[in-house]
Structure formats: C-alpha cells, structure tokens
Chains A and B, each alone.
Chain A
Amino acid sequence: MKASVIVFPGSNCDRDIQVALANSMGGPVEMVWHGQTEMAQTDLIVLPGGFSYGDYLRCGAMSARSPIMREVVARAQQGVAVLGICNGFQILLEAGLLPGALLLNAGRNFVCRDINIRVENSQTQFTSRYEQGQILRIPVAHHDGQYFADPDTLAELQAGDRIAFRYCGSAGDESANPNGSIDDIAGIFNDRRTVLGLMPHPERAADPLHGGTDGRGLLDSLVSALS
C-alpha cells in the first residue's frame, strides 16, 4: 500500500498522521507539497489537520485551490481513497468532494477535548475494523467544526448511510456534541464511500501513550483494505 499526505502551508498535523499511518502500514508514507501539480501512484491521499493558510478567508478555502488539489480531485474521481481530518475535512468541503459546510463551533470557542463518537457504518474501507455502533474515544481540537447541511443534503446523507461517525454521550458525559453539529455528525462519506472527512483526530489516539488507541482502527481498516 502507498499513502500520501498533502502538506499545505500551515498544516500542522501532517507529521502526526504520517507517524500514525507509518506505524499501521509498517512502511514509509509519502509527503506531497501542495505546490506540486503531479503525484506518484498512491492508494490513499490524506489531507491533514492544522491551520492551512492560517484559516484566513475561510477554513480550507485557499488550500482547496492549491495546485495539487486538481490532482487530488481527479484521483478521488477515479476512486482513490481520500481521508480529510479536521482542516482536511474543511478542505474537502471547499473542494466539493464532500457536501455541506463546517461553521464556527456553537460555543464560539476553540475546543480541545476527548469526545465519544459512534461508528455509524462499519461496512467501509475506512471503518471495517470497528463494530457497527462501536463507541470510540478520540480527541477533537478545532474552532470551526460545526457541521451543517441543508435538509435535502442531510436527508441524502442519512438515507445513503453516508454518516460515518456521530458524537455521542456516555454515562456522566453531559457535553456529547462539542460543536453543535447538525444531527451530531462528526464525519461523512461521499456517495461511493471512497472519501471520508471527519473532525476528530484518529492520529492522536493511535498509541497507548496517547491514553487510548481507538483511532488506530481507522488506519488499520485502510491498511487492510488497500494493501
């Protein structure tokens, strides 16, 4: 399996996902500079978290117009797996690879917290290592993570089993939805389920020293599907 992580100016979780993926894959991960217009053959493209272009203008808006993104969109259309985490999710929306928008958190502040998400569809190359309905504990860290979609889009996502993860509570946890996302949505697929965008950071829950390894299943799922 070959995996490529796109590095935008201001990406700051690029190394984190590189390390986590390399651990899951047992091999190196290619880093691709945003200014390139071509990319070697790859089985997985990751748009990492961070603050590409400082979140100036609108989160992900400028990165979605980076030279490399033409190639990313073309590969996605060919069916190559694309994963966008946090800022990467924002870029996928701005690039039109996923529907909807991510707004300022309902609480109006940046929020960094370990939260619970429920696996809503375990029948995908991103989630096969999880049980349907399994609850994962994974950190979020974002300022603009409130997912929003118009009613038609939302109905489409729901009907097509395209909601990948929902924020959910556990006993004693009163703040299940950290950002006010519509329908508690934490991550969504495209219609072919080859593109996943999510706000939580699986790469920060991929090592026992992180305090949990619930994020590793997502990466391991990709490795088993794409190797």
Chain B
Amino acid sequence: MRNEPNITPAQVAEHGLSEAEYQTILNVLGREPNLTELGIFSVMWSEHCSYKSSKFWLKTLPTEAPWVICGPGENAGVVDIGDGKAAIFKMESHNHPSFIEPYQGAATGVGGILRDVFTMGARPIANMNALRFGAPEDAKTRHLVAGVVAGVGGYGNCVGVPTVGGEVNFDAAYNGNILVNAMTVGLADADKIFYSAAAGIGNPVVYVGSKTGRDGIHGATMASAEFDDATEEKRPTVQVGDPFTEKLLIEACLELMGTDAIVAIQDMGAAGLTCSSVEMADKGGVGLDLDIDKVPQRETGMTPYEVMLSESQERMLMVLRPGSEDAAKAIFDKWQLDFAVVGRVTDTGRFIGRNNGAVVFDIPVRPLVDESPEYERPWVKTSAPAPLAAVTAPMDHMAALQIMLAGPDLSSRRWVWEQYDNSVMADTVRKPGGDAAIVRIHGSNRGLAITTDCTPRYCLADPHQGGAQAVAEVWRNLTAVGARPLAITDCLNFGNPERPETMGQLVGCIQGMGEACIALDFPVVSGNVSLYNETHGQAILPTPAIGGIGVLDDLEKHADLALRRTDDQIILIGETKGHLGQTIYLRQLLQRQDGPPPPVELAVERHNGDFVRGLIAAGTVDTCHDLSDGGLLVAAAEMAMAGDIGLDLNGPDDPGFWFGEDQGRYLLSVPATLVDAILQQAEKRQVPAQIIGRTGGETLTLNTCEPISLSRLRRSHEAWLPDYMNSN
C-alpha cells in the first residue's frame, strides 16, 4: 500500500462522513484509510448510494406480485407483460445537478436512467419525466425551465427514444431546488434479463463506453447535501452528457447481449466505477481486482482517487465469459467505443485497486456494503390539517374555469412536449396530453400504458393521504386508457431527513404509498430516493413522484380523453362529495391552501376503476378521462378541447361539485344508445354513475352561465406557457 499522509478530521468532514461513520471505517479496515479509500467509503455511504436514512422505511413497501420478475435492488424493476416479454423500468432523480446546470443536469438524468434500463437487456422504448420548478415569478424559473426541457429533449431525441409524457408543476417551494425526475421503460425477452452479480473466479472485468474524465467527481456526495450560496461553485461536479455515444452504447450492448458473452453487467452511474464494481462484487459474493491504469482516460495525470470517483457518463462495466473478449471487442470496435479489460473476478472477497502494479486501495467488499450506516432517524407525524374554512365562490363557474385553464397549474404543456420527439420508433399510439401514454409492444397488437403522477400539495397537508393518492392517481391514469396496471417505480424527493418534521413526511408518504400498493395490487419494483432537497433550510414540498406501467392486451380497445362524437352523453363515475380542501380552485382563485386533501378510499378506487376498465376492455367505452387537479369541470373542458367538440353540462350550482377533487372518479363519453346499459351495470355493481351532460356544438355550456367558445378557451389554455417563456 502506498504511503500517504494521514487523514485529517477536516478531510473526513469534507467527504460528508460523520465521526461515527469514520470510526466504522477504521474498524472495517483495521487501519487508517488512505485518501482513495476514504473517497470510496464516502460515496458508497452517501445518502444517494446507501439509502441510509430511507432504507428502514423502504423495506416496508410491497414489492411482490406473481408478475414481478425482479423487484428493487437491481438496476431497474422487471415485470412480466405476457407473450414472453418483460417490461423493465425505473425513475430516477437528477435534481441537484439540474439546478446548477439545467441543460446538462437534465440531459445526464435521462442518460443515466436509460442506462439503468438497457443494462438489464432491454431496448428502451419510452421516456417520461416529472419536472417541478419554482414559482413562475421567481427570477430563475424561466431559465431553469428552458434549460431542463432542452436538456431532456436534447438527450432523448438524439438517442432516439420517444419521450411520451410527464408532468410540469410550479410552486414557490421549489424556487431553490427544482426536481428533475426521469423515467425509462424498456422491452426485453422475459428469459433474457441481465443482472449485475459478478461470478466466475478469474473472469475478465471489462470497461466499455466513453473514456473517464474528471467530470462529476463527488456527484453522489453533492446530491446528499443541502444547497447554500456556494452551490454555484459546484458546477464542475455536474457531468456532461454525450447522447450520441449513449446511442452507440445501447446498440453495442444489445448486440453483445445477443451472444452468450456476458456474465454480469452494470452501468456506471452515481459514484461511477466505485459503485458499479462494489455492487457487482457484493451481489456475486466475490472479490474484484482492478487495474486502474487500464481504465480508458480522457485526461492525463488522473489520480486513482479521480478515476474511481469520476461520474463521466456513458460507461458500463461487465464481467465476460473467459475467451469471449475478442468477439466482444469486435462489437465495440464496430461501434467505435472504448473496450478495455480492467480487472478480474477474485475469490478474496476484497476490492483491490492497483495503479501500475502498486496497490492503491484494498477494502473488504461485504463490510463496505453491509456495514454501511442505516439510520432510523427520529421523526414526528405531520399534524392533521385544520378543517377547511368556509368557501364562497368568488365568481361564476365558467369564469373560474377560464382563469384556471389559463394559469400555471393547469395550462397546456404543449410548449414542453413539442420539444420532445414523441413518435420516434414508430410505436407511439397515444402521445403526451392524455391520462397515460400508450406505446405498442413492437411487432404486436398489444401495448404498454405509462404515466407519472404525484400531487405534492396533498403530501404537504397530509403525507399519508398524499402518498396513497399519488399511487392511486397513477393507477387511475392507467385505468382511464383501459390498461391493466402492473407495477410502479418511485422517486422520493424530500428535504433534509435529519429534521424530524421532514422525516415524518417521508415516513407518512411511504406508509400511504404502501397501503395503496397493497389495495391496488400495484407493487413497487424500482425507485430512487433524493433527500436534502432544500436551500437555506427551506425544504421542497414532499414529492413522492410515482411512475407506473400497465398493459393493454388489445390496442384496438383503449380509451382516450378527446371527445369523438356529438350527441354522446357524459357519464360521471364515482361519488362527488364536493371536496374543496387543497384544491387548485382554492389555490388559484382564493389564494388559499387549507383543509385536508381529498381522502383516498382505496377499496372504492379499485371498485370504480375495475368497472371503467371493464367497459373499455369490452369495447363499450372509447372516451374516458380521470378526474384530478381542478376537478370535474376542468376534466370536461380538457375532453372538449382535445376533441374539438362542445359540451352542455348540467348540475348543482356548487363549486364543490364542479371543482372539488374527490378521488376515484372518471368521465365517460358514451353514445346515447349505450347509456342505459352502462347505468344499469353500474347500479348492479354499486358504482355511482350519473349523466351530467351531452356533447355537441362549439361551446362549453354550464347551467345558466354564459357559454364559452372552445376556440377561445383553447387559445388561453395554450397561450400561458409559451407567453411566459417568451416574455422577459
């Protein structure tokens, strides 16, 4: 071992390690670490890689179902979708880098999640993203929106994976800490899934992809700390993406996966070469020897510390069958990518690095992973919100609708998703703008429905209900297009877990999510936790973003929200109590955010959803929209605008009826001839169903309010975001 100066307490602190954690390192090694070893421990034990604050609670989430092939713990979750195919998917955060450098932060977020998915043998077939920005008035918001959207598009478009949907929210709580959560869904043969457990003593460890540079060193540690005024100085820790290389890497890896050369494979994401090697060795119960000087390097004079901690993008690590190196190298040569044998699998159980023959680190693998700290952080339950104070409608409902549809919360996101290629791969069946996107399972008449959702203001008011609602809403979005929901991935974005209040939000949300997952048979198969999302002690809204997938067995039978016919009847499914607490109506028209969020009755949710899905599967219903932000009138207006067909609605003159956000509800547009049969079925199944209107004409009409022309409504709905982005 090379002699190096002793580690100082300041260096320990700079690496984000506590004194107790450092003591554990001393115990594990039986000696002082050198700087490289300290760096390796620090990234492996960072919040980002070790989940030390959340692990205890994550274990409570349901992760199993008969169709789950692989749950959390691998690069991504894998579910059986029938016909010998599997869907592989995950959502991941790239919040801190995106705030510092929005274009590259968002771009490399997309690149990272793509690699998590194709590492397991899947061809990526769809990207989604959930973006949360500060208040529109905040000086930085416009710049961040422009950069993030361009970065998401710039990477995904170039790689050639369609971005089929997502969410964009604005709230002052994200002013100093935006959220960029990216999701990828891939398609693989169910019997050709690749895992990361290294095996076969003596087998070659191979590095492929881009060369290693000095970018992104300590990204995982940065993602595990709060922001302060010095944050801008962290720009050099943001990685730079190269989507062209990623595209080549996808093709090269998939080509190699068509042979039997690969024993194990893992992408280099957070904590780069360190995390990928250690995880592969730990999962396989083996040791790993690395020759650091053999790692392809972009710059000269890089130290072992820098090579091990670099987060350069578009790199993968593989264990190959002995003798297959030449054939594998030929594939990577064809795609003009680096290929280097950088080490061997060993039986020592140790992770050993050599630089020009000299040992520069030597750490036992098991303790590096198993002894990683796990905290049961103190938490306090979020106190129940005070009851909703009386609500008086400030204006007539149609005037309210116009303001809501033309505001930051509910305006059209077209300006965003038109910058994403949503139809490359030629399998996109339903584009952004609906409840869930639909992509065809290539070469078949079956499809996958994909959505992301979360309502952070609900989570703030009542984390438990908010967590359950996020899962239920995703399930409802998939149901509304006719898909059978299969599983979710979660991206848990919270503030500093060392604050008991914040920890209480995390705990509450996870508990609510878990209940919803069980009630809806909708397990968590992958995910990511992003903590310390705060600046100057100001935490973001608790945001457990949920991505979900479902399967459609016959693409001919799916539903869309756009009205298709005149003289249809509009049927409201589900009970409307008129819940106004925490609604967009309160927030936007009355500048109030009080009361409890709408309760999620999971048994009812499932009952109503199963009924609607049955109607779509039977071919009876082809037009459906779930009710969420903004409530009934907003949903009805979205259906009318999308289909360019007017609506005549009738109902009580009560803002709760039209704008309440009661859960478990859907709107159906149904030809008059089918209405009686549907209502009878609903009655038999005890599903609340009522006719609230009729399609036709060119206006939206409600009771005795002044009608609004659809074209005028659409103009203001479409205008807000482009006007905002183009103004100074």
Contacts and interface: CB of A to CB of B under 8 A. Distances in A.
A218 B428 CA distance: 21
Interface in B417-448: 417-426, 428-429, 440
Contact of A54 (B244, B555, B711): B244
Interface residues of A, number: 33
B423 A12 contact: no
Contacts of B33: none
A85 to B, nearest CB: 12
Interface string B215-252: 00000000000000000000000000011110110000
Most buried by B among A12, A49, A113: A12
A56 B334 CA distance: 19
Contacts of A19: 426
Given A10-B244, A51-B158, A209 B555 contact: yes
B160 A51 contact: yes
Interface string B475-495: 000000000000000000000
A141 interface: yes
A187 to B, nearest CB: 18
A145 interface: no
B336 A16 contact: no
Given A10-B247, A53-B244, A113-B418, A207 B336 contact: no
A12 B244 CA distance: 10
A49 B162 CA distance: 14
A107 B127 CA distance: 24
Contacts, number: 90
B419 A56 contact: no
A143 B429 CA distance: 23
A77 interface: no
Contacts of A10: 158, 244, 247-248
Contacts of A203: 426
A110 B419 contact: yes
Nearest to A139: B423
A13 interface: yes
Contact of A210 (B157, B335, B423): B423
A56 B244 contact: yes
A51 B419 contact: no
B421 A112 contact: yes
A199 B214 CA distance: 39
B256 to A, nearest CB: 16
Contacts of A49: 424
B419 A16 contact: no
A54 B107 CA distance: 14
A209 B447 CA distance: 11
Most buried by B among A56, A139, A207: A139
B159 interface: yes
Interface majority SS (helix, strand, loop, mixed), chain A: mixed
A110 to B, nearest CB: 5
A112 B711 contact: no
B104 to A, nearest CB: 15
Given A10-B244, A109-B419, A54 B425 contact: no
Interface string B396-424: 00000000000000000000011111111
A12 B419 contact: no
Contact of A141 (B334, B335, B424): B424
A33 to B, nearest CB: 8
B160 A109 contact: no
Interface string A174-216: 0000000000000000000000000001011011011100000
A25 to B, nearest CB: 16
A206 B245 CA distance: 30
Nearest to A141: B421
A201 B247 contact: no
A9 interface: yes
B421 A110 contact: yes
B262 interface: no
Contacts of A50: 160
Interface in A22-59: 35, 49-51, 53-56
Interface in B552-594: 555
Contacts of B248: 9-10
A101 interface: no
A227 B32 CA distance: 76
A75 interface: no
A49 B425 CA distance: 11
B424 A51 contact: no
A188 B429 CA distance: 29
B153 interface: yes
Contacts of A111: 418-419
Nearest to B725: A109
Contact of B244 (A9, A35, A143, A210): A9
A91 interface: no
Nearest to A210: B426
Contact of B243 (A54, A112, A209): A54
B150 interface: yes
Given A53-B244, A54-B244, A172-B711, A16 B157 contact: no
B293 to A, nearest CB: 29
Contact of A51 (B244, B417, B418): B244
Contact of B426 (A53, A55, A204): A204
A2 interface: no
Contacts of B440: 209
Most buried by A among B244, B247, B424, B428: B424
B302 to A, nearest CB: 25
Nearest to B337: A9
A111 B153 CA distance: 10
Nearest to A215: B426
A15 interface: yes
A16 B153 contact: no
B159 A112 contact: no
A5 to B, nearest CB: 13
Contacts of A201: 423
Contacts of A206: 426
B274 to A, nearest CB: 28
Contacts of B160: 12-13, 50-51
Contacts of B153: 109-110
Nearest to A52: B244
A111 B423 CA distance: 12
Nearest to B432: A112
A64 interface: no
Given A10-B158, A111-B418, A20 B243 contact: no
Contacts of B420: 110, 112
Nearest to A49: B424
Most buried by B among A10, A49, A207: A10
Nearest to B644: A172
B158 A55 contact: yes
B242 A141 contact: no
Given A53-B244, A112-B419, A141-B423, A209 B429 contact: yes
Given A109-B419, A110-B419, A51 B426 contact: no
Interface string A51-80: 101111000000000000000000000000
A123 B247 CA distance: 39
Given A10-B247, A109-B150, A172-B711, A54 B423 contact: no
A56 B247 CA distance: 14
A59 to B, nearest CB: 11
A50 B250 CA distance: 15
Nearest to A9: B248
A15 B417 CA distance: 23
Contacts of A15: 425-426
A82 to B, nearest CB: 21
Given A9-B248, A109-B153, 15 more contacts: A12-B158, A15-B425, A51-B247, A54-B243, A54-B245, A112-B417, A112-B420, A112-B422, A112-B423, A113-B418, A139-B423, A141-B422, A201-B423, A209-B555, A210-B423
6 contacts: A12-B160, A54-B242, A55-B244, A112-B157, A204-B423, A207-B426
Q: Which 9 residue pairs across A and B have the least CB separation, nearest first? A: A12-B160, A54-B244, A16-B426, A51-B158, A141-B421, A204-B423, A110-B419, A112-B421, A110-B153
